[in-house]
Structure 1
Amino acid sequence: MPPQPPSAPTPPSLPAPLFDTAVIAGVGLIGGSVALGLRSRLLARRIVGVDASLDALREAQALGVVDEIRAAPGEWLREADLVVLAAPMRVLAPLAADLAPYLNPQALVTDVGSVKATIAAELHRLGVRNFVPGHPMAGSERGGVAHARAALLENAVWVLTPTEHTPLTALSRARALVEHLGAAPVVMPPGAHDDLVATVSHLPYLASLALTHLVARDERLSLLAAGGFRDLTRVASGDPRMSRDMVVENREALRLALRRFRTQLDRLEAELDDPEELLAAAQEGKRTRDSLPVVKRSLLPRRHDLVVTISDRPNQIGAVTQALGAAGVNIKDIEVLAIREDGGAMRLGLETPEDVQEAAGILRGAGFDVVGRA
């Protein structure tokens, strides 16, 4: 009997998804990022998007964020074993009320809103048993599904806020979902969450508004507002309506945070007459700021910067990139920082400190002024 050819190896089987049908109610930045996380990690067999905006739905489907789209809730929702409420705060409760009559009683339901006590109470009133309020501490000043990405949620703190009515099995499933999306679940009561985000999220937004309003009322200030000011006021670039709704929804906790903030400002004002006390305050601020954890996204590794001064002549940017490309230095990121009549600057993001040193030597040899920052 002639020897038989070896049989082809059996391909490895894919892991079973956590969910058969996942519904993302609200296909914006966060909802779209959750959908992409489910897709990239094979956590759901089918992803359905539902949104009041037909344009948003079509864009989400065209981008491959969702498999199917629906403009309104209906009996089709009974097939879902995961429902994520990802609408803006002002419509989150009405959306939940529209979906509730059609939900599978066994489905895990969660949300991504930035205020938890009110939505937790509303879902209990609606009789949605397996609801686990949630808030991924992630976002961007750029909204919309076009800016959604799975990496936005990776390594982010994701707060889960069960109530006394939350089944332990639902909380366990929600924790598994968050962990499988690459985020870090933290569990606390809804009220505690709202008090904390009033200080670390909603108060900074109001502070950014106050600072930008100062600049808006004196054009001389805008001439001097450099990178530090832009970094400090970045959150003011978010969607105004969504930001307004966020802080209004949490206004009672935010009022307390504002009072504490005013106390701190009064103390610092008094310390202007006591340099040693002000130095101690500055040292405490530095220690606190330096100790804050840096969230590392798996698709956004740390970059090491090189700032290059360029003259106002044609093809200066091309000369920089060509010089480094010819030497095999890989530029990971590039940003034009400023262009004026006498020239400007550009920032190059490189992969390692060694790349910064090599690129700096090459560009200095080509006549450019550079400043490295590893």
Structure 2
Amino acid sequence: MRKEGNAQPMFRVAVIAGVGLIGGSLALGLRQRGLAEHVIGYDASPEALQEALALGVIDEARASSGEWLRGADLVVLAAPVKALPALARELAPFLGAKATVTDVGSVKASIAREMEELGVRQFVPGHPMAGSERGGVGNASAALLENAVWVLTPTETTPLTALSRVRRMVEQLGAAPVVMPPDAHDNLVATISHLPYLASLALTHMVARDERLSLLAAGGFRDLTRVASGDPRMSRDMVVENRGALRDATRRFIRQLEHLAETLDQPDELLAAATEGKRTRDSLPVVKRSLLPPKFDLVVATPDRPNQLGIITNALGLAGVNIKDIEVLSVREQGGALRLGLETPDDVTRAGELLRELGYETRGRG
């Protein structure tokens, strides 16, 4: 039985090729929202398939390709980016002519070319901008894809019907579809995703080479270098696959750093740069992801006492204030701060008044 089921599922049989974090989350979303009658998980790992079955992520497990694939009307390639071409070549001979095919890889131009060469015409390249440092199907959750920007990068040969179908699926999963060409996507993610990974590596390497630095690396440094804690092999493959666009982004970044270094002797110019940086960063709430509907922020100063998060969220929940996202801005010995993403300016006003009555200092921002 499906949760939140639609009257008519979009797909009779959906195949998730790769039941890891993203593939598993997509499978759960399809099941929980009633978008597919039957979800088959395909993976080379028997352990991953067994875990996916045990957790109710999939209805059926398959460890090898074959004629059974012809019954699928949705096939999602959810393998790591380096493995996508080989996976596509393995499955392509068995795909039905009318099957809608998409993928979740973080680099789009290469897989788009591969599928075109294989003659898969119902292919819609895609990239949900979601993830976690904790991989594997055991950490999968349909909520991981909710409110995520999901980029779709059709090519000149992508049928409009296939694009429309995948776009509708993305919307039904609670994500926000954004359509752009494959090359444009790769250039953009080189800057906002792949470059931060290289920068994190550079900073962590500097700490690794000087033990004194590690003694001073507190919360801010850990936040800045969070992406360096992801799977090293998968992260390497991701950035190597997009190396052309990433080299260009790295050169631009180096020029920015050099310019900022020059402003160290020009305090007014550095202040202007810092003000612009703060304004840009403050306009990007965590779950908003820049292209989703606006959220309104309330910053709450929290003392260094137990259960502060529980007290705040419980009080707002009892008052009927819906918290859309939470970000820990800082943690220090004397306390820290939370940023609460709320739905309306009225929610910010009500929440601020309530929390101030409880003794918290607050500041609205929207």
Q: Pick the structure with greater CA Rg.
A: 1
**Structure-2 residue corresponding to 1:309:** 304
Aligned-residue offset at 1:303: 9.1
Q: What stretches of structure 1 of length at least 5 have no aligned partner?
A: 1-12, 311-316, 365-369
Which of residues 40, 43, 49 in structure 2 aligns to 1:48? 40
**Structure-2 residue corresponding to 1:26:** 18
TM-superposition CA deviations, 1:109-138 (whole Å, max 9, x none) = 000000001000001111111000000111
Q: Secondary structure at the match of 1:66?
A: coil
Deviating beyond 4 angstroms after TM superposition, the runs of 4 or more aligned structure 1 residues are 301-306, 317-322, 343-362, 370-374
* CA distance in 1: counterparts of 2:236 and 2:298, whole angstroms: 33
**Structure-1 residue corresponding to 2:102:** 110
Q: Normalising by structure 1, what TM-score? A: 0.81
Aligned-residue offset at 1:293: 5.2
Which of residues 217, 221, 238 in structure 1 aligns to 2:230? 238
Q: Which amino acid aligns with 1:27?
A: V
* CA distance in 2: counterparts of 1:142 and 1:223, whole angstroms: 26
* CA distance in 2: counterparts of 1:109 and 1:22, whole angstroms: 10
Aligned-residue offset at 1:159: 0.7
Evaluate the alpha carbon distance shift between residue 25 and residue 16 of structure 1 in structure 2; reply closer, same or farther with a 3 A threshold: same
Q: What is the aligned-residue identity percentage?
A: 65
Alignment of 1:220-231 (within 5 A): 220-231=212-223
Alignment of 1:55-204 (within 5 A): 55-204=47-196
* CA distance in 2: counterparts of 1:133 and 1:116, whole angstroms: 6
Evaluate the alpha carbon distance shift between residue 278 and residue 302 of structure 1 in structure 2; reply closer, same or farther with a 3 A threshold: closer
The alignment yields a C-alpha RMSD, in angstroms, of 3.4
Q: What stretches of structure 2 of length at least 5 have no aligned partner?
A: none
Alignment of 1:206-225 (within 5 A): 206-225=198-217
Q: Secondary structure at the match of 2:304?
A: strand
Q: Secondary structure at the match of 2:115?
A: helix
Aligned-residue offset at 1:227: 1.5
Q: How many residues align?
A: 344
1:269 aligns with 2:264: no
**Structure-2 residue corresponding to 1:8:** none
Verify the 8 A CA contact 1:202 1:254 in the aligned structure 2.
yes
Evaluate the alpha carbon distance shift between residue 20 and residue 200 of structure 1 in structure 2; reply closer, same or farther with a 3 A threshold: same
Q: Secondary structure at the match of 1:20?
A: strand
* CA distance in 2: counterparts of 1:318 and 1:289, whole angstroms: 28
Q: Normalising by structure 2, what TM-score? A: 0.83
Q: Which amino acid aligns with 1:32?
A: G
* CA distance in 1: counterparts of 2:15 and 2:140, whole angstroms: 16
Q: Which amino acid aligns with 2:165?
A: R
Evaluate the alpha carbon distance shift between residue 142 and residue 371 of structure 1 in structure 2; reply closer, same or farther with a 3 A threshold: farther
Verify the 8 A CA contact 2:30 2:173 in the aligned structure 1.
yes
Aligned-residue offset at 1:82: 0.3
Aligned-residue offset at 1:74: 1.0
Evaluate the alpha carbon distance shift between residue 302 and residue 180 of structure 1 in structure 2; reply closer, same or farther with a 3 A threshold: farther
**Structure-2 residue corresponding to 1:283:** 275
Verify the 8 A CA contact 2:299 2:337 in the aligned structure 1.
no
Aligned-residue offset at 1:87: 0.3
Aligned-residue offset at 1:349: 10
Evaluate the alpha carbon distance shift between residue 53 and residue 69 of structure 1 in structure 2; reply closer, same or farther with a 3 A threshold: same
